[in-house]
Amino acid sequence: MAFSKTFPRTTKESSYPTWEEVYLSDEEEKEVEEKCKREHFAILDECLRDAHAVAIKNAINTEENVTKLAITLFEKRASHAVFWKENKAKEKFDRTFKH
């Protein structure tokens, strides 16, 4: 099922916006998902390093504490795939309906 997002488009003819639905192709959706996966991998790697540093600094350097810290940091920093897809759809909308 293709990802879609609806955006308001204003026109000179009406004070009310026209809602335009933008669909991502399968290729575009897969591209965004892959980019998201790569980004999440990098964020998780960074979170693990940061958690390890925080655990050492605070003398709580056990594997369990580092893991919990890393997960908490990752949840705070990581974006959801839907966010990435919505951004891609917005880019496509902007390209399609340039003013």
Higher pLDDT, 34 or 61: 34
- Please tell me the predicted confidence (pLDDT) of residue 99: 59
47: Cβ–Cβ under 8 A, 6 or more apart, which residues? 69, 70, 71, 73, 74, 77
CA distances from 35 to 12, 31, 32, 64, 79 (A): 37, 6, 5, 29, 12
- The boundaries of the domain holding residue 64 are 25-96
Please report whether residue 3 resides in a domain: no
Query: Does any domain span residue 90?
Result: yes
What pLDDT was estimated at residue 1?
A: 66
> Does some domain include residue 20?
no
Q: Domain for residue 84, yes or no?
A: yes
Amino acid at 85: K
Q: Residue 23 forms beta bridges with which residues?
A: 4
7 within domain boundaries:
no
How many domains does the chain divide into?
Answer: 1
Give me the mean pLDDT over the 88-92 stretch: 92
Higher pLDDT, 98 or 20: 20
Whether 50 is in a domain gets the answer: yes
Q: For residue 78, tell me if it sits in a domain.
A: yes
- Residue 92, domain member (yes or no): yes
For 8-27, what is each residue's pLDDT tens digit? Answer: 998 888 889 999 999 999 99
**Structure confidence by residue, pLDDT tens digits, 42-51:** 989 999 999 9
pTM: 0.63
CA distance 5 to 93: 9
pLDDT in the model for residue 26: 93
The H or E element spanning position 27 is: helix 26-57
How does the average pLDDT of the chain come out, rounded? 88
